[in-house]
Amino acid sequence: MEHQTASKKHTRSRGRSKKAADPYASAYGIVPFKLFRGREWTPARDLGEAMAGEHVLLFGSVRSVRPLGSARAVVVLFHPLTSSTVRCVVAAGSCEGVTTRAVRFAATLSRETAIDVEGVVTLPESVKVLGTTQQVEVQVRKIHSIGYDRRTKPRDGKLQTSCASIAPRPVKLEESVVEPEEEVGSTGQAGQVLAHIDPETSLNYDCINLPSLVDHATLRIQSEVEFKIMEFLRMKCFVGIHTQSMLVGSNISGRPVFRLEKSNCKMHRCKFIDFGAEMEIMDHYFEVCNIINDLFIELFKHLNGSCKKELETINQQYPFEPLKYQERILMLQYDEGIQMLKEVGTKVKSMAGLSSEHEKRLGRLIREKYDTDLFILHRHPLAVRPLYIMPCVENPSYSNSFDVFIRGEQVISGSQRIHEYELLVKRAAEFGFDMNHMVDYLGLLRYGLPPHGGFSACLYRLVMLFFGLDRI
């Protein structure tokens, strides 16, 4: 009896050992991160029909997982550097090494897990791939997740590896990503869920929200805008001057700026990326406007021509009407803008400045009359401009200043600065400004400065208004 019991135990033990042993275990599972493996990786964005049949090695994170029974699972891999996604199909029996255990492993991967995948590029049969940027599939041969599991206790002093996160995400991926109800379908139709993340949560967990393709596209657009602006200014012989972050004031080049004043609207952020330029003026402050004209036209052409993929991604989730602009930016005097508003019955004081609502309405009127979303309003009343703005020579009640508007909202403010010592002292006295706060600046004027002007703008607002978004 004891012999039979022992025999049964031995049989069960052998059964467990046989079940635990998997000759193809190296084809899937969790591995620690290694700095270098000597393998050649393929960027997900390069995957296309021309690569059908090729063996590839991919790296990225899990965007979504869909188990399809016990013998098949679909993992959507996201490559953050190229903002690309591709379907990876794990099918038991598709090749030697892909077993049902590999399928089970793939089906349990959690979102945002770092993975690498080896497989063969294939074309889907008679259906369109939905929900991914790449219109091909990868038939998985090997799939591994990379990371360590801090949820389980160490065994024998060794840390056990896994692919799960150690805390629930405050921002769910499905809230920030447009995803079709079905990733592949014969009809080519897919219902979409738009992002609904409140601004406070989005700001508090901005880095966690980055897996969104829209966020990646927006960041790339911002990067392109910043790069193009600096490239343009260098081509125009401007010299970059880099300073530490400072309270908002006269700006030189792109840098973080912290706003001192209290505000509670989308026009003001406590921290923003500021860019601008200062330049000599030889004849007229329109020379500054001409720089802005050439800059914007070149910038918008670059975005529309070189960033089509990012524009399509943003338009998919936040549909926008392409920005309308002319080769020469429309320029209107302040009084002309006031007159346009009065002609449609808008109550506005001629010398009191425009409110945000006035500016938006003026933007709509200009769009209807001139078919453009981009315009410059110049020669503002001196009383509503800062003390360092140069008055108009022909009429001191006005100033040599301007604002640039996109879709009826200000994006750039600029002017000719006062370069004469006595005039700036007089203006400061009129404002009741303490001269002790501008001793250094006045010292520069004592030594002599040429006529000069400049402008400043917020990178975020420029991108926001280019797309017509409510916020970035």
pLDDT digits (tens, 9 = 90+) for 101-160: 999 999 988 887 889 999 999 998 766 777 788 999 999 999 998 865 443 444 444 444
Query: Token pair for residue 38?
Result: 């000597």
| Positive/negative CA dihedral, 200, 203, 206, 209 | positive
DSSP 3-state assignment of 322? Answer: coil
pLDDT, position 69: 87
User: Got the DSSP string for 219-246?
Assistant: HHHHHHHHHHHHHHHHHTT--------E
Distance CA 445, CA 230 (A): 28
- Residue 54 CB neighbour total at 10 angstroms: 12
Determine the residue type at 336.
E
Q: What is the pLDDT of residue 459?
A: 85
C-alpha to C-alpha distance for 113 and 162, rounded to whole angstroms: 10
DSSP 284-295: -THHHHHHHHHH
Query: 393, 364, 398, 376: which is closest to 455 by C-alpha?
Result: 376
Q: Considering the chain, what is the average pLDDT of its residues? A: 79
pLDDT above 70: residue 70: yes
Q: How far is CA 15 from CA 9, 18, 70, 102, 442, in A?
A: 10, 5, 22, 20, 90
In the predicted model, is pLDDT for residue 368 greater than 70?
A: yes
Query: Residue 75, SS3?
Result: strand
Q: How many CB atoms lie within 10 A of CB 465?
A: 21
**228-237: per-residue pLDDT in tens?**
998 998 899 8
The better pLDDT of the pair 263, 348 is held by 348
Give the three-state DSSP class for 424: helix
In Å, what is the CA distance from 453 to each residue of 71, 163, 281, 288, 389? 69, 56, 7, 7, 9
Query: Residue 372's pLDDT is what?
Result: 97
Residue 370 near residue 327, CB atoms below 8 Å: no
* Position with higher pLDDT, 121 vs 262: 121
| SS3 of residue 247 by DSSP | strand
pLDDT above 50 (res 15)? no
Percent of the chain that is helix, strand, coil (3-state, to 5): 35, 25, 40
Beta strands 409-417; 401-406: pairing state: antiparallel
User: Looking at residue 36, what is its pLDDT?
Assistant: 58
The percentage of the chain sitting over the pLDDT mark of 70, rounded to a whole number, equals: 73
How far, CA to CA in Å, does 447 sit from each of 157, 218, 427, 442?
Answer: 73, 45, 19, 9
The whole-angstrom separation of Cα 251 and Cα 246 is: 10
- With bands split at pLDDT 50, 70 and 90, how would you rate the model's confidence at 193? very low
Taking residues 394-410, report their average pLDDT: 96
Q: In whole angstroms, give the CA distance from residue 444 to residue 366.
A: 41
Confidence of residue 213 (pLDDT cuts 50, 70, 90): confident
- Tokens of residue 136, six digits: 């091909």
Q: Which of 241, 289, 248, 235 is nearest to 416 (CA)?
A: 289
CA dihedral over 99, 101, 107, 110, signed as positive or negative? negative
Q: What is the pLDDT of residue 206?
A: 60
Tokens of 112: 């945002």
**Nearest CA among 356, 236, 386, 209 for reference residue 298:** 236
Using DSSP bridges, classify how beta strands 137-146 and 28-31 pair: parallel, antiparallel or unpaired: parallel
Token look-up 């629930």 returns 168
For residue 301, give the amino acid letter: K
- Dihedral angle at the C-alpha atoms of 243, 249, 251, 254, nearest 10 degrees? 70
Burial of residue 144 (number of CB atoms within 10 Å: 0-12, 13-18, 19+): middle
pLDDT exceeds 50 at position 178: no
DSSP SS3 for 258: strand
Using an 8 Å Cβ cutoff, are 453 and 279 in contact?
Answer: yes
Segment 45-56 shows an average pLDDT of 93
pLDDT bracket for residue 29 (50, 70, 90): confident
Local confidence band at 210 (pLDDT 50, 70, 90 cut-offs): low
Report, in angstroms and rounded to the nearest whole number, the Rg of the chain calculated over CA atoms: 30
| Residue-wise pLDDT tens digits, 269-315 | 555 577 888 999 999 999 999 999 999 999 999 999 999 988 988 88
Top pLDDT among 236 and 180 is at 236
